Chains A and B, each alone.
Chain A
Amino acid sequence: MTAAQAATPPVLQLEQVARRRAGRAAVQDLSLSLAPGQVLGLLGVNGAGKSTTLAMIAGALRPDSGSIHLNGDDFLEQPELARRLIGWLPERAPVWPELTVTEHLDAHARLRGLRGDALRGAREAIVERLELLPLARRLAGALSQGQRQRLGLACALLHRPALLVLDEPANALDPVQVGALRKLIREQATAGTAVILSTHVLVEVTAVCDRVAILHEGRLRHEGPVRADDHAALERRFFEIAMQARAA
């Protein structure tokens, strides 16, 4: 973390957040914070609570207890903060199958409060940045999973959010697209956007993240900085946590 990042208030602050799902504790006593320009990787095995955590941060799900603050404002009291502050790419990038890619982007932009020239400008910029022009008139229902993922990412980035929440963003992307995604995440961070992404892939974390948080059975088991040459240490830590929990 840079000195400037440490000095600015966190974009995201989670305190003692808990949520039950399907009769079990999906997330328990989770506290995290994220400064502008930071990239946090959320690691964990299947069912660790990553998607539930991200859905709560994105405002799609309310926590049972605890607090979430966005730029110092109580997000649970003001869910409308999500409109301008958060961009969310959920797992499997859901779409309205009967709308074209352009119609999708327009609908998302309007839901986020963009109008007229601002809407057109934002749409053209994101279409160019994510190379969506050849897909612009295609129906979302006819896109491949990788293309849907890119469309979902475009919708998340369209309104230039302060916090980008990405749930398994590299799913179904080919290696070239994964490389482009990593570049895009780093660009966003450089521009001051805080990014939180969940993944199973450890190399994803060492490639793009400044910090890592490891969740297991809904609890935060590890949090710390990541170095690009730290892959082996991170892998060791991850398996230690998974094995300890299994032994317990």
Chain B
Amino acid sequence: MSLVAMFRLEVRRLRVQPLAWVLLALSLAWLGWGFTRLLGDFLAGEIKRAALPDGPGYVDLVAVPLLGQLAQLAFLVVPLLAMSTLAGERRNGTLPLLFAAGVPASRIVLGKYFALLLWLLLWLLLTLAMPLSLAHATTPDWGKLAAATLGIALMLAALTALTVAASAFTPHPALAAVLGLLIGLALWTVNLGAQMAGLNGGAINWLAMSTHEQNLLRGLVSTTDILWFVLLIAVCLALAARRLAADRERG
């Protein structure tokens, strides 16, 4: 019950935050521009592709690259959106009110996390609506599109969990945003050195978010990749809940 109450409280707060709407509007405008460019390129190359029997289609050349652009924006948008989640409560002095209402730390974290996910899901759906609006005129590879969408959804969920955890460890939202961005980028590029050295396997590659995300964007859905995201989300949320519970202990 308290989880639903926390979720509703956070949704209501997000709904009236100008930053959330500004981020949504700016990022969708950017993605809309990206979509028209991708579509223009797709139409320009249509005659050449007609000669290739198994050439890339609408999903490969428009939908997935657009989702790739959303993934790039997510490194900036998610930390900015989620930075105040817990740091803001601490700054306002409202965190003790939640403890005093008998809401366990885990439900505070989960309620806020699910509210952020709802907003990000809306962002993802509005972005997907662009390529889907023309899907009736093409023959899309629905499986590949579904895998890529799952990959982006998991990535958004992981970046959100990272920033929520960062927000639990600092009273300053800006610091939480910087931490979320840096840790997210570090996780994405951790295997860059190994790849430049020609190593395409091993633990360092498994550790990198890019390894798992790129598989899903290519349409390859594997349990290992999904598990990697689920593990990261679980660890981040558990850390955030622990930190919050410790706040109550420490005062």
Contact = CB atoms under 8 A, between A and B. Distances in A.
Contacts of A94: 92-94, 96-97
B16 A99 contact: yes
A159 B97 CA distance: 14
Nearest to A113: B1
A45 interface: no
Interface in B218-251: 248-249, 251
Interface residues of B, number: 26
Contacts of B102: 59, 79-83
Contacts of A6: none
A204 interface: no
Nearest to A139: B16
B12 A99 contact: yes
A54 to B, nearest CB: 10
B203 interface: no
A127 interface: no
Given A60-B248, A81-B102, A90 B96 contact: yes
B249 A62 contact: yes
B101 A95 contact: no
Interface residues of A, number: 32
Interface in A44-96: 52, 55, 58-62, 79-83, 86, 88, 90, 92, 94-96
B100 A86 contact: yes
Nearest to A82: B102
Interface of B: 1-2, 4-6, 8-9, 12-13, 16-17, 92-94, 96-104, 248-249, 251
24 contacts: A55-B251, A58-B100, A60-B96, A60-B248, A61-B99, A62-B249, A79-B99, A79-B104, A80-B104, A81-B102, A83-B102, A83-B103, A96-B9, A96-B94, A99-B13, A107-B8, A107-B12, A108-B97, A108-B101, A110-B4, A110-B9, A111-B2, A111-B5, A112-B101
